[in-house]
């Protein structure tokens, strides 16, 4: 069986690792490879290589860094099919969806191609007599990324292109369930001309994560994953003096008002709830039907859920692949059962779905639960599978209050024909990313991505301008070039302008 190794200092290596974990093909339900699990000494080796590389990369010109990013971007285009196949075979998502995440991730690289503009500082002429002030930003040093399984390439791409383009060196610890995409990315960076040691991939589990969090050579940690681990990472890494961005889980609501085009809303809700088998941090897991929208919405959602083709991600024509593990499949099945027990109406039941020829795969069909209430587990827990719960309320006020009382605050959407309602919604909901008639409002690369409340621990969103700020720190320089005529006056008072 193939062993997926690490990439340290420009070379594939097993370093000192001996432990392994299986990497599954979720459509077959069988291990397709094994991945090495790093020991703390392997993290040391990677951080040392990145630290050495920083000595020159941190001092490299903007032109050099930009050239590498342009070349890397072209290689991501060239290898799109190969990357999509890798993602689909380890995650399970359909190929078109895998291509979608590659394109959205590539947009971050395109932003990084323009890093010279994003890094421009300010200059103030003659702030005092013969005195000018300017500021500029410098990289932090060695920074690390720890990423989840559900976007094997896009989420790491939220981090490393910006970190590297701003002059840092990077150690990535991808999810051990989907390690292969990042290993290929390391080779593409090398082909793009990135010097050895600037981008390193260390595969592993909690042992590697803890070694990164404790490592004195790591200046900053970017984390994306579930909320409990985001809280843990934030606490540990700040305790060891690192800068941290930590994005967590979600329970995203889509509110459908009676004046919405119900067919349009249901179409988008279906795709946003069941696409990628519901394993997206921006998936819609709760629909909030306001007033008379409820019955009509349920009827259309029921029809659309029945039309979804479930099967292996690599077969064109399927809309939805398997979930990532057998444990995830069981969690989805249990959540639907518990929903029914707690009083929800199971309108569409995906628990019994079997895909012919793929009986061992981790498949579960779409489920639609009506009459969900806030006390139910189906409402409170992040199921992270193809389950859409519908909560019925009477007014927009109630819908907004519901969202604001939820501990998560990643995304929220409203479907309406009313500009007034949409404006109120976007101003009053306490979430970070809002869609108006758009179900999955993932910001473009030149904005930043981040939720509120339990969906983002700490205060730094990711990529875009916030990413540039996160991976750099500012210096402000006050300059005077004395006239050759004399030294000029100096005093013991605190300096003021003259």
Nearer Cβ to ligand NAD (279/416): 279
Nearer Cβ to ligand NAD (175/416): 175
Choose among 180, 176, 173, 177: nearest CA to 156: 173
Q: Which residues bind ligand NAD (CB under 6 A)?
A: 146-151, 155, 173, 175-176, 205-206, 209, 224-226, 229, 232, 247-250, 281, 382, 384, 410, 451, 455
Is 281 among the residues known to form the active site? yes
CB contact burial 471-491 (16+ within 10 A = b; e otherwise): bbeeeeeeeeeeeeeeeeeee
The residue number with the shortest CB distance to ligand NAD is 225
Instruction: Provide, rounded to whole angstroms, the least separation between the CB of residue 84 and ligand NAD.
Output: 18
Q: Which of 27, 247, 281, 378 is the catalytic position?
A: 281
Instruction: Provide, rounded to whole angstroms, the least separation between the CB of residue 170 and ligand NAD.
Output: 15
Active site residues: 281
């Amino acid at each position: 069986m193939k062993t997926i190794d690490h990439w340290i200092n420009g070379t594939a290596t097993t370093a000192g690792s001996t432990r392994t974990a299986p990497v599954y093909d979720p459509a077959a339900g069988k291990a397709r490879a094994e991945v090495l699990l790093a020991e703390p000494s392997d993290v040391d080796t990677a951080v040392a290589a990145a630290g050495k590389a920083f000595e020159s990369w941190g001092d490299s010109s903007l032109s050099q860094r930009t050239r590498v990013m342009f070349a890397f971007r072209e290689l991501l285009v060239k290898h799109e099919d190969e990357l999509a196949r890798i993602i689909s075979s380890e995650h399970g998502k359909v190929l078109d969806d895998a291509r979608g995440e590659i394109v959205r991730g590539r947009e971050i690289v395109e932003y990084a191609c323009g890093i010279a503009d994003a890094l421009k500082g300010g200059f103030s002429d003659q702030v005092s007599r013969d005195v000018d002030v300017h500021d500029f930003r410098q990289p932090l040093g060695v920074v690390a990324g720890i990423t989840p399984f559900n976007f094997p390439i896009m989420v790491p791409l939220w981090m490393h292109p910006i970190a590297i383009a701003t002059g840092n060196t990077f150690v990535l610890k991808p999810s051990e369930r989907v390690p292969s995409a990042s290993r290929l990315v390391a080779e593409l960076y090398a082909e793009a001309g990135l010097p050895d040691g600037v981008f390193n991939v260390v595969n592993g589990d909690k042992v590697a994560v803890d070694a990164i969090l404790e490592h004195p050579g790591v200046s900053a940690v970017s984390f994306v994953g579930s909320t409990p681990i985001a809280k843990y990472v934030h606490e540990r890494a700040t305790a060891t003096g690192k800068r941290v961005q930590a994005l967590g889980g979600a329970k995203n609501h889509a509110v459908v008002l009676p004046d919405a085009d119900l067919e349009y809303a249901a179409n988008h809700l279906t795709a946003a709830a069941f696409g990628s088998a519901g394993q997206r941090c921006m998936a819609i897991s709760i629909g909030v039907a306001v007033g008379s929208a409820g019955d009509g919405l349920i009827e259309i959602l029921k029809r659309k859920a029945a039309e979804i083709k479930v099967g292996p991600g690599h077969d064109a024509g399927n809309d939805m692949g398997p979930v990532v593990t057998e444990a995830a499949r069981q969690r989805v099945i249990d959540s639907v059962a518990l929903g029914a027990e707690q009083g929800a109406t199971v309108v569409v039941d995906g628990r019994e779905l079997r895909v012919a020829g793929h009986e061992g795969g981790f498949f579960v069909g779409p489920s639609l639960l009506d009459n969900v209430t806030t006390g139910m587990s189906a409402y409170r827990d992040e199921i992270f599978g193809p389950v859409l719960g519908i909560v019925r309320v009477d007014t927009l006020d109630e819908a907004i209050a519901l969202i604001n009382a939820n501990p998560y605050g990643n995304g929220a959407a409203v479907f309406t024909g009313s500009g007034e309602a949409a404006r109120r919604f976007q101003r009053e909901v306490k979430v970070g990313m809002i869609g108006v008639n758009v179900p999955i409002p993932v910001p473009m690369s030149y904005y930043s991505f981040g939720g509120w409340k339990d969906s983002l621990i700490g205060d730094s969103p990711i990529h875009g301008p916030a990413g540039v700020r996160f991976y750099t720190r500012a210096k402000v320089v006050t300059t005077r070039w004395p006239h050759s005529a004399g030294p000029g006056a100096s005093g013991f008072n605190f300096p003021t302008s003259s």
